[in-house]
Structure 1
Amino acid sequence: MTDQANDFWNEKMKHLFHLYDADGDGSITPRDFEILADKLSSLVGQEDVKRREDYAAARKSLCQEIMRADANQDGKVTLEEWLDFHKHLAKELHKPDTNPEILEQLSERINTTFNMLDLNHDGYIAKDEWVKTCQFFGVDQTTAEKSFEQLSKGDKLEEDKAKHLFFEYLKSDDPNHISNCCLCFL
């Protein structure tokens, strides 16, 4: 990896870290996932009991996957642990014989992410779902709409394509790769 590509990838992963550090204390803990799940469930309405339950389950699953980065097992993921974990993950994903256990763990993380973005559970991420979620994470509407147009064909992003883009996002150090339009939802 060139220095420029490495710098780009590190900045991308730092941004992702800060999205998960919901309370802004400099580490990712299970509490951050509770905060995110509560906030995300408001996108579909707090009165929707089923969706709140879905987000609670997703929060638990995503938390378990992300907390794998807690190298010293102290109950929190620091930025250094986060970067080390994802460097190892990206290196592993570039291998032709990627460890099946790592692929299964990443697949779970990607499935959970997709399900959280597919607000109405129709198997697609619609433009309005994408824009709402982007805005939740502080992305302005114009940028969100532009990124969606780059990723999708029409007004829906198909599940397989979305999951492939999420996978590539974690792996790619190319600043021009289309997966960078995913805006760090993983």
Structure 2
Amino acid sequence: MTTSPNPFWNDKMKHLFYLYDVDGDGSITPKDFEILANKLSSLVGQEDEQRREDYANARKTLCQEIMRADANQDGKVTLEEWLDFHKHLADELHKPDTNPEILEQLSQRINTTFNMLDLNHDGYIARDEWVKTCQFFGVDQTTAEKSFQQLSKEDKLEEDRAKHLFFEYLKSDDPNHISNCCLCFL
């Protein structure tokens, strides 16, 4: 994928962009992450103050990581900046000597994403956590359950496997790759 990205990968990244553009204004801003975090906090329970704080910190970290795509530093990420950023990231990930700084940044983003999906913080993404989060993003229950079955042969998706799949999701331009079942949570 060191040339131009294929249409599948491009569409996948566009879908991810629109997932984060919560207010639908055509750009990703810190405001989108505030809206998203407020909505997502209902999944973890409003009464758990520590979880709400953890979630707020995760949102802040994820926002910082995603705002790295803001090439012109105007406080918003446009679709063009988003695609350019992720194209560069995917190209870098295909190199045998990937820049360690890029790997560290991506690892932080993936860790944060995992922690946001692991609603009860037990080190796994359980089937019900996956389904709840998928439904939150508009995926029907049957599709969510089917995707979980493809990702995990058990009732839990182990942390290492989940993180590997998230990593591959950003990198892969193969429409048949198992990571595409991740349904754009990155």
TM range (shorter): over 0.9
Give unpaired runs (5+ residues) of structure 2: none
Q: Does the C-alpha gap of structure 1 residues 116 and 4 become closer, same or farther in structure 2, counting only changes over 3 Å? A: same
List aligned pairs for 1:162-177, cutoff 5 A.
162-177=162-177
Q: Which amino acid aligns with 2:56?
A: A
List aligned pairs for 1:35-46, cutoff 5 A.
35-46=35-46
CA drift at 1:47: 1.3
Q: Contact (CA 8 Å) 1:5, 1:174: kept in 2 or not?
A: no
Alpha-carbon distance in structure 2 between the residues aligned to 1:5 and 1:150 = 25
Structure 1 residue aligned with 2:23: 23
Alpha-carbon distance in structure 2 between the residues aligned to 1:40 and 1:104 = 26
Structure 1 residue aligned with 2:135: 135
Number of residue equivalences: 186
Alpha-carbon distance in structure 1 between the residues aligned to 2:145 and 2:4 = 28
Q: Which amino acid aligns with 1:154?
A: E
Q: Does the C-alpha gap of structure 1 residues 70 and 5 become closer, same or farther in structure 2, counting only changes over 3 Å? A: closer
Q: Which amino acid aligns with 1:46?
A: Q
Q: Deviations over 1:67-109 (max 9, x none)?
A: 0000000000000000000000000000000000000000000
Q: Does the C-alpha gap of structure 1 residues 4 and 134 become closer, same or farther in structure 2, counting only changes over 3 Å? A: farther
Alpha-carbon distance in structure 2 between the residues aligned to 1:59 and 1:122 = 19
Identical pairs, percent? 90
Alpha-carbon distance in structure 2 between the residues aligned to 1:70 and 1:34 = 18
Q: Deviations over 1:47-82 (max 9, x none)?
A: 111111011100110000000000000000000000
Give unpaired runs (5+ residues) of structure 1: none
Structure 2 residue aligned with 1:51: 51
CA drift at 1:3: 9.8
Runs of 4 or more off by more than 2 Å in structure 1? 1-5
The normalised TM-score by structure 1 is: 0.97
List aligned pairs for 1:29-108, cutoff 5 A.
29-108=29-108
The normalised TM-score by structure 2 is: 0.97
CA drift at 1:154: 1.1
Alpha-carbon distance in structure 1 between the residues aligned to 2:141 and 2:4 = 29
Structure 2 residue aligned with 1:148: 148
Alpha-carbon distance in structure 1 between the residues aligned to 2:100 and 2:5 = 27
Alpha-carbon distance in structure 2 between the residues aligned to 1:91 and 1:118 = 29
Q: Secondary structure at the match of 2:68?
A: helix
Structure 1 residue aligned with 2:178: 178
Alignment root-mean-square deviation, CA: 1.4
Q: Which amino acid aligns with 1:166?
A: F
